[in-house]
Amino acid sequence: MDWSVLANSDFYAGILRTATPLTLAALGGVMTERSGVTNIGLEGLMLIGAFFGAWISASVGNPWVGVMGAMFFGGLIALIHGVVSIGLRGNQIISGVAINLFGTGITGYLYETYVSNGFTNLPSIPNLKIPGLSAIPGVGPVIGVQNSIVYIMLALVAITHLVLFHTTLGLRIRAVGEQPRAADTVGVNVYALRYLCVTISGMLAGLGGAYLSLGLISNFSINMTSGKGFIALAAMIVGKWTPLGALTASLLFGFGLQIQTSQLVNVSSFASNMVTIAPYLITLIAVAGFIGRATAPAADGVPYDPTH
């Protein structure tokens, strides 16, 4: 065991970087489930964002255009999920599974067909160095010099928290996720808010995927999300469907993922295998410990029918 890694600020900077895509997707989950629509398709949406973000970025030579493209396609696919779940009142779990399968299939097909040799000269999202903050010993290397999307993620956590819990719009979103009939009675458009939140969830998951291919790794590979969308779902549950809770849980899972890329354990094949499963083991333990005490919105996953 090389415990000296835990005293290295780069290790903790890596945790924040690794937690960023998880947090973005988990925020999307918070938004949609707070409005009463379950979306377990975050894995597929992240994969779609990762591929289209890289493809568009490589095509136009601008990573930010790629990011916008990733958010657009993520939101578009999520909107289709919304049509099935909200408009057609279909089974939301099956629709989410279909999105995951579609995301895996379409990105794999397009990559093998059109980008079989990999993306060349893929522009990446730049890092930012915050004057003053980056110079603070210990803290500076962790939060003072990070990828631009990391700071966008932190801003989105704060914005989402403020919107959900300190605005009229947030009150209405939570109302349609708890008591949609009562909200409808006082004039709140249940369908419109649910469509809005589902679409936002796809855009946020797409942004998380774009960060993977354009910021964290600066490349794309088939199935590169490797279950991160499901970990994001766990972060949402452990975080009790709150933005700040989702961030905290994502940092916990990010710790497990960061262990994989560090030299904390490098002693045997058994230890290596344990390191590989660490983030998923942490996910299982966290969900098993918290899911019993975390209560989802009352109408989460329940299609709204005003005639019944």
For residue 290, pLDDT over 70 is answered with no
For residue 236, pLDDT over 90 is answered with yes
For residue 287, pLDDT over 70 is answered with no
CA distance 264 to 107: 34
CA distance 291 to 158: 24
Q: Higher pLDDT residue, 37 or 136?
A: 37
State mean pLDDT over 38-51.
96
| Band of residue 2 on the pLDDT scale cut at 50, 70, 90 | low
In this structure, are residues 112 and 105 in contact, taking their beta carbons and an 8 Å threshold? no
Q: Which of 3-7, 73-77, 127-131, 198-202 is the least confident region? A: 3-7
Question: Which pLDDT score is estimated for 247?
Answer: 96
For residue 41, pLDDT over 90 is answered with yes
State mean pLDDT over 257-278.
60
Q: Higher pLDDT residue, 257 or 280?
A: 257
CA distance 61 to 69: 13
For residue 214, pLDDT over 80 is answered with yes
For residue 278, pLDDT over 80 is answered with no
Q: Which residues contact 282 (CB under 8 A, 6 or more apart)?
A: 252, 253, 255, 256
Question: Which pLDDT score is estimated for 3?
Answer: 57
CA distance 92 to 82: 9
Question: Which pLDDT score is estimated for 5?
Answer: 60
Domains in the chain, CATH or no CATH each: 3-290 (1.10.3470)
CA distance 41 to 38: 9
- What mean pLDDT, rounded, does the chain reach? 88
Question: Which pLDDT score is estimated for 141?
Answer: 82
Distance of CA 85 to the CA centre of its chain: 20
DSSP 8-state symbol, 2: -
For residue 276, pLDDT over 90 is answered with no
Q: Which of 31-35, 129-133, 249-253, 289-293 is the least confident region? A: 289-293
Question: Strand ranges (DSSP E) for the chain?
Answer: 127-129, 145-147
State mean pLDDT over 172-186.
95
For residue 135, pLDDT over 70 is answered with yes
| Band of residue 262 on the pLDDT scale cut at 50, 70, 90 | low
For residue 280, pLDDT over 80 is answered with no
Q: Which of 267, 213, 247, 210 lies closest to 73 in space, CA to CA? A: 210
Question: Which pLDDT score is estimated for 10?
Answer: 82
CA distance 121 to 243: 35
For residue 8, pLDDT over 60 is answered with yes
Question: Which pLDDT score is estimated for 144?
Answer: 87
State mean pLDDT over 176-202.
96
Q: Helices 63-82 and 42-60 sit at what angle, rounded to 10 degrees?
A: 150
Q: Which of 71-75, 189-193, 302-306 is the least confident region? A: 302-306
